[in-house]
Structures are given as structure tokens and as C-alpha cells.
Chain A
């Protein structure tokens, strides 16, 4: 059962949408204030940056407390006792997360998230220590997957679903030595997840769970694709299975894009595009052909061409809409995403101007015109 009531989570979603619509000019601020009074919500949230910092300090203090306990109270305990204590710490962390939510109504506040993550971490490490002699490591992974999933289900932390998927992907290596068998089992795991989510989603298309299920479906498609693409995550598989996966990596992006159009889901659309790019990028290695230096140019022209054509086609429809789709921005958060990501990407990604023959590597000095010595001997 979910730790939060559906009414509270729906109220939060509505509250965010109202702010978004004010930013886009669809509502007046005074209207929003009036409407906000009709959607009371007890949940306590915080800013995304404070959330991140609170998460980090929760990890630091709780992990240090665990370490301190071992140092002070059981410095010479055997491995079983250590493992058991870690499991107890996991239970304590889970209790702490529950307490923070039930007593203080924390919602995506960083603290309860840090405690939930530590629950999985302590439990897995503890079990690993306890079971290390029994050679049944897959139990640890299975417990990690199940615990991550249950905590996701309880608190709604989507990254814990991702963690559950990663744990699950590591399990088949203990069941079979066959690489194709491992890939197949992982694909079946994710396909099962997809079958469930596609059945569950229609009941929540217009409520707070829609965005969450959209993300879950997207990462399940991504997981399925990664498990089948034998050139993106290299594997020594050959024969019919290899060529079947080759066909599937072409088929999957088409299926995902078709589904995204059918259910009008932007997250799934974006993922479909990512999968299509990955397929184009791994096509040559799959066929054993060498990459050419101009391949990225062709890919770039293709992507830009598709984007411009799609935008034009949509913009030329009545009121800029075709078949229920538009290229216009209808959420202030879209702009915030681009505004916050673009500077980071532009700074982090290579800048050809600064990748020049005379990069400063040694001592600074000289410089002919007051720069950081970029032109002179260092």
C-alpha cells in the first residue's frame, strides 16, 4: 500500500499544474490562489536543490552512524553478526523513512529518500556478508530487486524501480552460463513488467500516477532494448539469436514510437527517438562493418531533417495541431528543462575552440595579451 493518500498526491499534481498554467498565462495568479484553496494537501515538500542536499546529508549521517556503531560496540564481531547488524540497520532505516512520512508528511524531501535507499543498501550488504559462504549470491540480488520494488511501491521513488530492474538484470548470470540465455531471461523480466504496466496504465491516464507509470514504462522499454542490443552492451553471442536481436533492435524503436503516438505520451516518444538513434549508431557494428568518420554527419543531418520536417508538418496543421499533436510548448516546465540543461550541456560537452593545439598543461606564465597564457609557453 502507498504511504501517501491518492487525494494528497492528486492535490500536489493539480497544484503544480495550476502554477504551470499561470506561468504560461492561461490563468491569473488571483485565480490560482482561489482555486488552490479547494485542493488542500498535508504533504510537506521542498525545493529540488534542498531535496538533493538533504538526501546527501541523510546518507552521510546515517552511514556514519552505522559505521560508528560497529567501531564502538562490535569492533571484533564475526561476519554473521556484522551481516545481521546491517540487516537490523536496514530495518531501522526503513522505520525511519516510515516515521518521517507518517509523522512529518515528508514528500520527496530527501530525508525519507535517503533512508529508503540506505534500507536497500544495508540489507543487500548485510545479506551478502551472511550468505557469502553459501554461494547463493543471486538471493542477495533477488532480495535487492524485491526490496527496491516494494519501497518504490510504498513511497513512489521511481529510481528504486530502476534499481529493482538493475538487480533483476544481474540475477540470470547465476542461473545459466549462456549469454543468450541470460539476455533472454532479462528480456522476459522486462517484458513481464511491460505487460503489467500496459494493463494498469489506462485506469490512470488522467491522474497523478500517469506521469509515474509513463516513466516506469519508458525505463522498462529501455531495459528491454538494452538487454537485446548485443552491440551496445557487448556480448559474445552469435548465430540465430544474434540475428534475431538485430531484427528486434530495429523493431523495438518502431513499436515504442507507435505506442507513444497511440497513447500520446511524450516520455515514451522521447525514449523511442533515443532507441532509434541507438539502433542507427549500432547498426554497423552489428553487421561487422567499420564506422566511417562521416557517419555522425549523416546521422546529424537525418535527425535535424526529421525534427524540422516534423515541426513544419505540425505547425502547418489547423491551429498548429495535427492528429492531437503540436510542436508548441504547452508547459512552462519544458522551458525550465531546456533553460537549466542547455548551459550545463554547453559547458560540460567539448568546445572545439578550447580543444586547440596549445592547451595549458604545465606552469602558467607568459601569454602575449593578458590571457591565461593560452598562447605562450607554460
Chain B
């Protein structure tokens, strides 16, 4: 039975009102057809192209344009974006205007630092201030784009770039990553406890979990001292698993399974020699993981 005929039946049975029937029948036939996603895509692509072009133009033509013109233009865009955000009601467009403003702020500061060295030796303060500014805007305007930008800027203050994290073997780099992950997790928990935009909690926790687990996993890959990191990885994966099961957040179960499997396998395979032993290991553990995950999926995943 197709959806329109089902809806007719539910209306006859009194399960839905005639108004609901009319609305849902229309929606089931894509009437009206929502262009919400395509318009969001256009706005995002537009902002990204615009900011990329600004960066490229400033980099290429800074000498010809002159510092005054560049700084004035970037400041005008930033001021315009902020003015728009503070004077207009929240809409789909406002989210992207704010995002554009934040990226322009970053670009302008990078330009000022590169050309005037006003902030020489103070770049970390500057990143921290920028991160705080972005956090304030993200919470003021309820904007996840800007929240993520704030988190990546804060990571920059810790000297971390997300792309560099998984393969790093530098102990100091790893320690800063762990510190950053813990700070993000604690801040996220605290903000949720105080009921300050609790719907942002998922973003905080996902960033924290990935940074922490990737940092600890990189320690497990080390030739020396890997046994120090291994218990930490188990604790981290255990915590992710427990949280995922308790809150029905299956992405954390996936993190626990993947990071844990990679870490445990890297330790166990070190002691193995010969293709038979290694392949047997993958067959046995692969099936064991499948069985465990199926049990988890059947027990907890059905309703998700």
C-alpha cells in the first residue's frame, strides 16, 4: 500500500485529523517542494568561494592594492557582516553571513600579522582571543559553523591541526592534543550542565572524543612506551562505549570499536610472525567484532 492510500485509511480510522491528512498528503507528494538544502548549499559554496577569492586576491595583489585598501575592504566586510547579524532576525542567510564575517576576521588578522607584525610573539594570545570571539558569536547566534571554527581556532592555539593529528609521533604534540581534548570535553560538559545551548554538546564531545582517541592511539603506535598509552586507549574506548550505550549515541560505539580495534591489533600483531598467524588474527577478531556489534545493534540499535 502506498503512502497516500495509507494516509486516506488513517484519516478514515480517525488516527489523523483532516487537516493533518491534507498536510501530510501534500508532503508525501513533495507539495510544496522544499529547496532548503539546495539554497543552503549555494550559500555555503558562495561563502567559501568568496573567502577563498579574498585570500587569493590579498595574497597576490597586496603590494598593488596597498595595505590601507586591503584592511579597509576586509574591515568593511567584517563590519557589514556583524551589522547584518546584530540587526536582523535569525534566518538561514544570517548563519552564512556570520560565518563569512568570522572567516573575514581570521583573514584580516592573518594579513595584519603578515604585513605589520603588530602581534609578533603574541600570536598565541591572538588565536585564543579569536577563539573566544568565535565562541561568543557561536553561542549568541546559535551557529554550529562558527562553533566548529572556534574549536579549530582553539586547537590552533594549542598548536594542533586536525589533519596532522593521526600520524604524529611527537610526544609534545600528543600531550597538547590530549590537553585540548580534555579541555573541550570538560567545557562541553560544563556548558550542558548549566543548560547553555545544550544542543551543542554533541559537537563538543565529538571533537573531544576524536582528538583524545587519535592522540592516545598515536601513542600506541610508538615503538617505545606504547604500553603506557595502551591502558589509556582502553579507558578512552571504554568510556566512549559506555557513553554510547547509555545515551544511544552510536557514533561513540563506532569510535570505540574502530580506535580500540586498531590499537589492540597494532599491539598484538607486533608479536606475530608469518602471514598465517596475522591473517588468522584478522579472521577471528573480525568475526568477533561483527558478532559483538550485531548483539549491540540488536539490543540497542533498533530504535535509533
Contact = CB atoms under 8 A, between A and B. Distances in A.
A147 B201 CA distance: 44
Interface string B275-288: 11001101101110
A64 interface: yes
B153 A343 contact: no
The residue among B31, B32, B207 with the most chain A CB atoms within 10 A of its own CB is B32
A373 interface: yes
Contact of B32 (A207, A330, A344): A330
Interface in A360-378: 360, 363-365, 367-376
B109 interface: yes
Among A45, A53, A68, A277, find the residue whose CB has the most chain B CB atoms closer than 10 A.
Answer: A53
Contacts of A7: 1
A306 interface: yes
B31 A38 contact: no
Given A54-B294, A303-B42, A347 B32 contact: no
Given A54-B294, A270-B38, A347-B152, A372 B160 contact: yes
A179 B147 CA distance: 47
B297 A47 contact: yes
A34 interface: yes
Contacts of B106: 351-353
A93 interface: no
Given A270-B41, A297-B50, A310-B39, A343 B206 contact: yes
A50 B49 CA distance: 35
A374 B156 contact: yes
Interface in B48-64: 48-57, 59-61
B159 A360 contact: yes
A364 B159 contact: yes
A352 B110 contact: yes
Interface stretch (A55-63, A152-160, A217-225, A248-256): A55-63
Contacts of B54: 297
Nearest to B108: A352
Interface centre among B37, B55, B114 (most CB of A within 10 A): B37
B253 to A, nearest CB: 7
B293 A304 contact: no
Nearest to A368: B121
Given A50-B296, A111-B290, A352-B103, A17 B50 contact: no
B124 A374 contact: yes
Interface stretch (B16-24, B190-198, B212-220, B231-239): B16-24
B37 A337 contact: yes
- Give the size category of B's interface with A: 35 or more
B272 interface: no
Interface in A335-363: 337-339, 342-349, 351-360, 363
Nearest to B200: A343
A116 to B, nearest CB: 16
Interface in B5-53: 6, 9-10, 15-16, 20, 23-24, 27-53
B121 A327 contact: no
* Secondary structure dominating the interface of A: helix
A293 B60 CA distance: 7
B297 A31 contact: no
B20 A348 contact: no
B32 A321 contact: yes
A119 B254 CA distance: 25
Contact of B6 (A39, A46, A47): A39
B4 interface: yes
B287 A372 contact: no
A300 B253 CA distance: 39
Interface of B is mostly: helix
B135 interface: no
Nearest to B60: A293
A61 B162 CA distance: 30
B35 A327 contact: yes
A175 interface: no
Nearest to B280: A68
B242 interface: no
A311 interface: yes
Interface in B90-116: 92-93, 96, 99, 103, 105-107, 109-110, 113-114
Interface centre among B6, B34, B128, B144, by most chain A C-beta atoms within 10 angstroms, is: B34
Given A304-B50, A346-B148, A371-B127, A10 B2 contact: yes
B124 A375 contact: yes
Q: Determine which residue in B4, B144, B170, B283 has the highest number of CB atoms from chain A within 10 A of its CB, and name it.
A: B283
Contacts of B159: 360, 364, 371-374
Given A17-B28, A21-B27, A47-B301, 17 more contacts: A14-B3, A26-B23, A31-B20, A45-B302, A53-B253, A60-B282, A61-B286, A293-B59, A297-B49, A303-B45, A308-B43, A328-B36, A329-B36, A354-B156, A367-B124, A369-B122, A376-B124
Interface of B: 1-4, 6, 9-10, 15-16, 20, 23-24, 27-57, 59-61, 92-93, 96, 99, 103, 105-107, 109-110, 113-114, 121-128, 130, 144-149, 151-153, 155-163, 170, 172-173, 176, 180, 203, 206-207, 250-251, 253-254, 257-258, 261, 275-276, 279-280, 282-283, 285-287, 289-290, 293-294, 296-297, 301-302, 304
Listed from nearest, the 7 A-B pairs whose CB atoms lie closest are A61-B286, A300-B50, A372-B159, A296-B53, A371-B124, A303-B46, A346-B148
17 contacts: A45-B302, A47-B304, A49-B253, A60-B286, A206-B2, A293-B57, A293-B61, A303-B43, A303-B45, A304-B43, A308-B93, A314-B35, A327-B92, A346-B145, A352-B103, A371-B158, A372-B180
Interface of A: 7, 10, 13-14, 17, 21, 26-27, 31, 34-35, 38-39, 45-50, 52-54, 56-58, 60-65, 67-68, 71-72, 109, 111, 205-207, 264-266, 269-270, 273, 277, 293-308, 310-311, 314, 321, 324-331, 334, 337-339, 342-349, 351-360, 363-365, 367-376
